[in-house]
A and B are shown apart, each in its own frame.
Chain A
Amino acid sequence: MTVGLIHYLIVAAILFVLGLIAIISRRNAVGVLIGVELVLNAANLNFVAFSRYAERGIEGQIFVIFIILLAACEVAVALAIVINLFANLGAIDVDRAGRMKR
């Protein structure tokens, strides 16, 4: 009954699915971003777990550093877009952002 790879994979699956639900269901754009963060964290947990329990050395952790770095860039740009959306629409409802198509 020791903690193994499977346990971490299941926790990562739960986090991934919760992030997916947030991405699908939230209508607030910042809520969607929170879902994206959850999904990225699930991927990070998988990388670190495999880097410890599979014969892949420390390189999984390097991947995680780059993922965290890209997540920082993604949040900076995405929130700038959200702020512009608010300035243009007066709301950050992602359903109303479809208006940009026309």
Chain B
Amino acid sequence: MAGKEIAIIIVFYVTCGVVVISALIAVFARSVINAAFALFFTLCGMAGFYFLLSADFLAIVQIVVYAGGILVLLLFGILLTHRTLEELGIEKRTTYIAGTIAGLAFYLILIFIIAQGLWHQIPPKPMAPTTATIGRLLLTKYLLPFEISSVTLLAALIGSAYLVRRKEGK
């Protein structure tokens, strides 16, 4: 039992390090390409957190949709919108000063709130597969959002296919 606890703590902090360091690179990297590749490690680390939180289905969804779909689309977006290698996201650094100060102030507020809160925690239940429960809830209690989400996907596909339809650089 104690060994299991220690293993969980080690895995948590290793995942923490991967997520935070790669998110830092994703935010502060000069080149957008580097930022997108760092985002890949952040997303995979988030899947690790979901595994630790016994959300096994969500972890797979995170890898399949975020790392496999959204990130690929982001990379295509980067490669479709540059002219030369030099133009590929060499950014001025001046805007970062104000942004970092604002972010740090907001972070202090968040930490203050988290420290103040009396979080009512229950001892977590033993881990169990969640996929079937999620499927049952999607078909019963959350049926309307489930069906509406398909219409949203339809609208997004038609909208973006229409937007990129125009001749490039006309």
- Residues of A bordering B, CB below 8 Å: 1-11, 13-22, 24-31, 33-35, 37-38, 41, 44-45, 48-49, 51-55, 58-59, 61-62, 64-66, 68-77, 79-87, 90-92
Given contacts A7-B12, A27-B91, A62-B137, contact A38 B27 (CB under 8 A): yes
Enumerate chain B residues within 8 angstroms of A90, measured Cβ to Cβ: 83
Q: How far is the CB of A4 from chain B (nearest CB, A)?
A: 6
Of A19, A51, A84, A91, which is within 8 A of B55 by CB?
A: A51
Could you say which of B23, B27, B32, B169 contacts A30, with CB atoms under 8 Å apart? Answer: B32
Cβ contact within 8 Å between A30 and B62: no
Q: Which residues of B contact A (CB under 8 A)?
A: 5, 8-9, 12, 16, 19-20, 23-24, 26-27, 32, 35-36, 39, 42-43, 46, 49-50, 52-55, 57-58, 61-62, 65-66, 69-70, 73-74, 76-78, 80-81, 83, 87, 89, 91-92, 95-96, 98-100, 102-104, 106-107, 110-111, 114, 119-122, 124, 130, 133-134, 137-138, 142, 145, 149, 152-153, 155-157, 159-161, 163-164, 166, 168-170
Q: Could you show 18 A-B contacts with beta carbons less than 8 Å apart?
A: A2-B8, A3-B52, A9-B119, A15-B19, A15-B42, A20-B103, A20-B106, A22-B26, A24-B98, A30-B77, A30-B81, A41-B42, A45-B46, A48-B55, A61-B58, A83-B81, A87-B168, A87-B169
User: In the bound complex, do residue B80 and residue A21 qualify as a contact, i.e. CB atoms below 8 Å apart?
Assistant: no
Q: Which residues of A contact B87 (CB under 8 A)?
A: 91
Additional A-B contacts beyond A11-B19, A71-B65 (6; CB < 8 A): A14-B107, A17-B104, A27-B92, A38-B42, A76-B156, A86-B81
Given contacts A38-B26, A52-B54, contact A31 B110 (CB under 8 A): no
Task: Assess whether A24 is in contact with B102, with CB atoms less than 8 Å apart.
Answer: yes
Given A21-B100, A48-B55, A61-B55, is A11 in contact with B16 using a C-beta cutoff of 8 Å?
A: yes
Residue of B nearest to A4 (CB): B121
B58 adjacent to A81 (CB under 8 Å): no
Q: Give CA–CA (A55, B66) in the complex, Å.
A: 28
Main DSSP-derived SS at the A contact region = helix
Interchain CB contact under 8 A, B20 and A14: yes
Contact A5 B99 (CB under 8 A): no
Query: When A49-B53, A53-B121, A68-B61 are in contact, do A58 and B23 touch as well, CB less than 8 Å?
Result: no
* Closest 7 pairs between A and B when the two form their complex, measured CB to CB: A25-B99, A73-B156, A80-B163, A24-B99, A80-B160, A21-B103, A79-B77
